Amino acid sequence: MTAPLLQKNVSIQLTGSANVELLDQNIELIDFSGEITARFRLTGKGFDVITITVTGEHNGDSLRYSSRVYVRAKQAAPPLTMEVTSR
């Protein structure tokens, strides 16, 4: 079963776990096609969660959908070291 298409008052709310700093938390959707970008910064190690909640109206009913995205910071690669000798 697919979710009905939301018709008006559509918005996206982003929430993050403790180590997720969200730069955009609420996004109002005016155009119903395209893509969005969720800017965030991870401030700790391990797995974290960004919850995406979409709310809107369909045929006069208020609807809410949510989904989770699991994120993890990559460890920085060790710096390359070079040994240079002169003759």
78 occurs within a structural domain: no
Cβ neighbors of 34 (< 8 A, separation 6 or more) are none
58 occurs within a structural domain: yes
27 occurs within a structural domain: yes
pLDDT at res. 60? 86
63 by Cβ neighbours in 10 Å (0-12 / 13-18 / 19+) ranks as: middle
pLDDT in tens, 8-46: 888 889 999 999 999 888 887 776 667 788 889 998 888
55 occurs within a structural domain: yes
Chain centroid offset of residue 4 CA: 22
Distances (CA, A) of 10 to 20, 36, 72, 79: 24, 13, 29, 46
pLDDT in tens, 45-66: 889 999 999 898 888 889 899 9
pLDDT at res. 51? 95
Give, in degrees to the nearest 5, the angle at Cα 37 between 36 and 43. 150
Does 82 have pLDDT greater than 70? no
d(CA 20, CA 17): 6
14 occurs within a structural domain: yes
d(CA 32, CA 13): 16
Range of the domain at 33: 8-72
17 occurs within a structural domain: yes
Question: How many folded domains does the chain comprise?
Answer: 1
| pTM flag (> 0.75) | no
